[in-house]
Amino acid sequence: NGEASLFEVNIRYIGGLLATYYLTGEEVFKNKALELGEKLLPAFNTPTGIPRGVINLGRQGTHPYKHFLHGMSWSWGWASAGSSILAEFGTLHLEFLHLSELSGNPVMNIRRVLNRVEKPQGLYPNFLSPVTGSWVQHHVSIGGLGDSFYEYLIKSWLMSDKKDSEAKKMYDEALEAIEKHLVKKSAGGLTYIAEWRGGILDHKMGHLACFSGGMIALGAEHEAEERRQRHMELAAEITSTCHESYARTDTKLGPEAFRFDAGSEAMATRLSERYYILRPEVVESYMYLWRLTHDPKYRLWGWEVVQALEKHCRVEAGFSGIRDVYTTTPAHDNMQQSFFLAETLKYLYLLFCEDDVLSLEDWVFNTEAHPLPINHTDFKA
């Protein structure tokens, strides 16, 4: 009702409004995106310009202090020392760049802060203070809390028609640090991206981190030959590991997180990580790898997901997440997440489409799979 808003959710919604505008030409969607963008701007009123994670958007409702709270922003209660989250404040550029082009107002440039701050081993930790501009703790993850920041660097460069050199430089340096410090190979030969906690590796990969195969392949496509080959191989290996996390379950759907320790490989070893909530990241990488290599195994793997979804997740009213991927009779959680429609089904659809349906030559997908046009000088949506 506008009393309180999750900043990140509204950024994703702006992406959906903009995508609808570009695909239909209907001005109402553009105007709503601009209106919502204006409402989010008070979240940037911090000493660094890094936005906080939650903002009060409106004056509706019955709160006695609703007029005072309008436009007020704050950090998540669980975020360390009132910090902002890398995957939230670092995942704005595609949407806000389009808003600035449509409105004539300059984009919020968070990159200046991130360029200036010292990065441990070249890595970006997940928590940053919006007051001091310093990292709050040294936890690095390519999965939850960090994920979409990295894809927005390479996608910002692509969306600019390869003119945004700052974004490309930051992406190249971040990927180099990830390759050097986080990419590991298991005893069984599976390549994975570990998490980093103050210099100590946690040999765990979340389902959310499985987007990285597609991201690395997307970036590799535009590299010189030696680097392109290396990165395409890395992308294929990571995507294969994520496929293994599905193939090694009874349902052929992947767990929320899987580990590479104590003799276990690409499997959840904790009860709290055995669930599947219709996440899209694995099929996202299948789609990108198919589009860029046309290796038929990616369509085969995608079809395996379709069959598993039909068998284990379809219910009378739609699709539901399941509580344990390692049982042949899983219990449903009775929730159909919004990203299932926005991403999982869309990426599966695109995996089996011709390449000219939302071509990667003309479109980039924001982190919620909403298509935004690449800024070709002659582009018409």
pLDDT digits (tens, 9 = 90+) for 17-52: 999 999 999 999 999 999 999 999 999 999 999 999
pLDDT digits (tens, 9 = 90+) for 219-271: 999 999 999 999 999 999 999 999 999 999 999 999 999 999 878 899 999 99
Mean pLDDT score of the chain: 93
Separation of alpha carbons 41 and 123, rounded Å:
28
Separation of alpha carbons 129 and 80, rounded Å:
9
Q: State yes or no: is 281 an active-site residue.
A: yes
Supply the pLDDT for residue 342.
96
Positive or negative: CA dihedral 314, 315, 319, 325: negative
pLDDT digits (tens, 9 = 90+) for 65-107: 554 566 889 999 888 889 999 999 999 999 998 998 888 876 6
- % of residues, the chain, pLDDT over 90: 84
Task: Determine, yes or no, domain membership for 148.
Answer: no
Same domain, 193 and 108: no
Q: Which of 95, 147, 221, 343 is catalytic?
A: 147
Q: State yes or no: is 88 an active-site residue.
A: no
Q: State yes or no: is 176 an active-site residue.
A: no
What is the band of 2 on the pLDDT scale with cuts at 50, 70, 90? Answer: very low
User: CATH code at 184?
Assistant: 1.50.10.10
Same domain, 196 and 49: no
* CA angle at 202 for the pair 200 and 206, rounded to the nearest 5°: 145
Residue 9 has pLDDT above 50, yes or no: yes
Binding-site residues for Ca(2+), in ranges, read: 367
Separation of alpha carbons 7 and 91, rounded Å:
11
Supply the pLDDT for residue 284.
98
Q: Which of 256, 284, 343, 368 is catalytic?
A: 256
- % of residues, the chain, pLDDT over 70: 94
Same domain, 116 and 250: no
Q: Which of 88, 221, 281, 284 is catalytic?
A: 281
- 292 φ/ψ angles, rounded to the nearest 5 degrees: -95, -15
Cβ atoms 149, 201 nearer than 8 A: no
Task: Determine, yes or no, domain membership for 205.
Answer: yes
pLDDT digits (tens, 9 = 90+) for 120-176: 999 999 999 999 999 998 999 999 999 999 999 999 999 999 999 999 999 999 999
Closest by alpha carbon to 36, among 12, 19, 67, 54? 12
Separation of alpha carbons 79 and 98, rounded Å:
29
Binding-site residues, in ranges, read: 367
- 139 φ/ψ angles, rounded to the nearest 5 degrees: -110, 120
Supply the pLDDT for residue 109.
76
Task: Determine, yes or no, domain membership for 374.
Answer: no
Separation of alpha carbons 247 and 314, rounded Å:
19
Cβ atoms 195, 204 nearer than 8 A: yes
Cβ atoms 73, 52 nearer than 8 A: yes
Range of the domain at 26: 1-137
